[in-house]
Amino acid sequence: MYAHYSAYVSGIHRLHLSTHFSNEVNESVMHASTVRSAIVKLDGTAITERDPSPIVHTSNYKEILEEAYQTEKAAAEIYGRILPLVEELGDSELYDSLEVVYFDEQRSVEELRMLMKE
């Protein structure tokens, strides 16, 4: 999603948003790596399937920010639900690594909220 929006965002806000979305791509790849490592550590099988929700195609920065906001909010909610389950395992390294991801998602939600504010 972020790679798509980095390429398509248009208008004067492209100046900073294109780079911002590229950075979000890198963060997403890091998060995926953290989650993959956690799955491996728990003897699970990591799969590589994209979330089925479609990427809404637009170059309108307000629509893009709204899509990003909804996505980050959903991610923060999911990690918020996962963390108590991981805590029950008693593996503090695993918990800490996923908590970092959770905080990253929360920061993204707040940053997007501020970006959309008039």
Q: How far apart are CA 105 and CA 34, in angstroms?
A: 13
Taking CB under 5 A as the binding criterion, the range among 12-20, 56-64, 68-76, 110-118 that sits at the site for Fe ion is 68-76
Is residue 67 at the binding interface for Fe ion, with CB under 5 A as the rule?
no
In this structure, how many other beta carbons lie within 10 angstroms of the beta carbon of residue 67?
20
Token pair for residue 48? Answer: 């590589």
Buried b (16+ CB within 10 A) or exposed e, 8-45: bbeeebeeebbebbeebeeebeebeebbeebeeeeeee
Size of the site for Fe ion (CB under 5 A): 4
Cβ-proximal residues to 23 (8 Å cutoff; 6+ apart), any chain: none
Taking CB under 5 A as the binding criterion, the range among 37-45, 46-54, 62-70, 106-114 that sits at the site for Fe ion is 106-114
Choose which of 108, 113, 116, 118 interacts with Fe ion (CB under 5 A). 108
Of 16 and 92, which has the nearer Cβ to Fe ion?
A: 16
Of 6 and 108, which has the nearer Cβ to Fe ion?
A: 108
Is residue 102 at the binding interface for Fe ion, with CB under 5 A as the rule?
no
Of 63 and 91, which has the nearer Cβ to Fe ion?
A: 63
What are the residues binding Fe ion (CB under 5 A)? 72, 75, 105, 108
